[in-house]
Amino acid sequence: MEVRQLSEQKPFTTKDGSTIRSVLDLSNAPVEQQSLAEATIAKGNATDRHYHKVSEEFYFLLEGEGMMELDGETRLMQPGDAVVIPAGAWHQIAATSDLRFLCCCAPPYSHEDTYFD
């Protein structure tokens, strides 16, 4: 049984500029098909607009609010909201207050699968 405690995971900055702590991924568990991380973005900051050629993502907001842009459509995200980000979809989230959310990627997140303008 693989169990990880979030508080024991070291944060790092992803290629898009968010700070994440891996909950379960290739770096800390025998994961093959997906990854789960907690992401944080401070109020007034945003991820760089990007897409993933291979990975599909889910964002699930835990705390704060942010403006989510997905392929040109924008929506305010609040705690309890979840969004599907298909592979190939341009996206960005901007924090209107301090944000904390879960990010699930399938296949697992990798810097190499993150592309910019």
Q: How many domains does the chain have?
A: 1
A 10 A CB-CB count for 78 gives 13
Residues constituting the chain = 117
Answer whether residue 56 is part of any domain: yes
Answer whether residue 68 is part of any domain: yes
Answer whether residue 5 is part of any domain: no
pLDDT in tens, the chain (117 residues): 989 999 999 999 988 888 999 999 988 899 999 999 999 999 999 999 999 999 999 999 999 999 999 999 999 999 999 999 999 999 999 999 999 999 999 999 988 999 997
Position 15 scores a pLDDT of 86
Which residue range(s) make up the domain with 33?
12-113
Position 1 scores a pLDDT of 93
Helices then strands, counting H and E runs in the chain, come out as: 0, 9
Closest CA to 23 of 117, 109, 114, 116: 109
